[in-house]
Amino acid sequence: MPFQLDLRPEALLKKVVLAFTTRESETSDNPEFLELKTRRYRATVSETYDAALAVMNRWFGWQVKTRQKNLGGMALLKCEITSIALGGNKLELSVWFIQEDLPDGTPQTTVNCKCISNAPTKGDLGETRRAIAFFLSALDDEVIQIPVSQNTPSEPKSETLQTQDTPKADTLPATPPSAPERKPLILQSSKGGKIQIKQIPRSDKTTNTAKQ
């Protein structure tokens, strides 16, 4: 995911003002800027913690100071960041992880951050906000997500969609059974001739024809 910043005109104006008046930034569910939105991942707290730690150890100038992983469904990371824009002064980034399972049992981890500038200036030049945004953007790519296929139950096969209330209809044969062959009857007439009676089945009725 590319690095994203809130570039709305009203947001840019407020960022300029805060860059010279504040020395800290933090995430929330309703932040002033979109990049400071609280993250919620469909992963365990352990998986999210390990991914965040890998991100911090990857970058030059980021040094992990505090690691607390097993806090009963919670975890904490603290990192010290060297800011070039602030003349080499340090930023302190704190990251909290809280796991809350969803109603279907899927683990969900909430991630919140707070960054404070230790520079002897009134403002942080936007460094604390950018540090949080940079970290969360990378975490969005690194965190282990649970596949959707494991969360949705599989649908029954079409062959098994037969209920007890709707019995199967009897299937008719492709062609009707042929009528049994009937032998002709031979009768002796009074004049010595023979009369042959042939029975022809038709629609459950018998038509007799006499041939002398």
Assess if residue 98 is contained within a domain. Answer: yes
- The average pLDDT across 113-131 equals 94
Average pLDDT in the chain = 78
Cα separations in angstroms, 145 against 1, 58, 151: 14, 20, 12
Residues 6+ apart with CB under 8 A from 128: 23, 24, 25, 91, 115, 116, 117
Assess if residue 204 is contained within a domain. Answer: yes
Q: What is the pLDDT of residues 4-22, one digit of tens each?
A: 777 788 888 899 999 999 9
**Of 189 and 75, the one with more pLDDT:** 75
Is the pLDDT at 39 greater than 70, yes or no?
yes
Residue 201: which domain range?
A: 180-212
- The average pLDDT across 119-125 equals 92
Say yes or no: 110 and 188 in one domain.
no
Which letter does DSSP use for residue 157 in this model?
P
Q: Report the domain count for the chain.
A: 2
Assess if residue 56 is contained within a domain. Answer: yes
Say yes or no: 193 and 113 in one domain.
no
Assess if residue 170 is contained within a domain. Answer: no
Look up the CATH number of the domain holding residue 74: 3.30.310.80
Q: Considering 131, 147, 163, which residue would you say is the last residue of a domain?
A: 147
- Whole-prediction pTM: 0.66
Report angle CA 115, 120, 122 to the nearest 5 degrees. 75
Is the pLDDT at 154 greater than 90, yes or no?
no
Percent of the chain with pLDDT over 90: 53
Amino acid present at 144: I
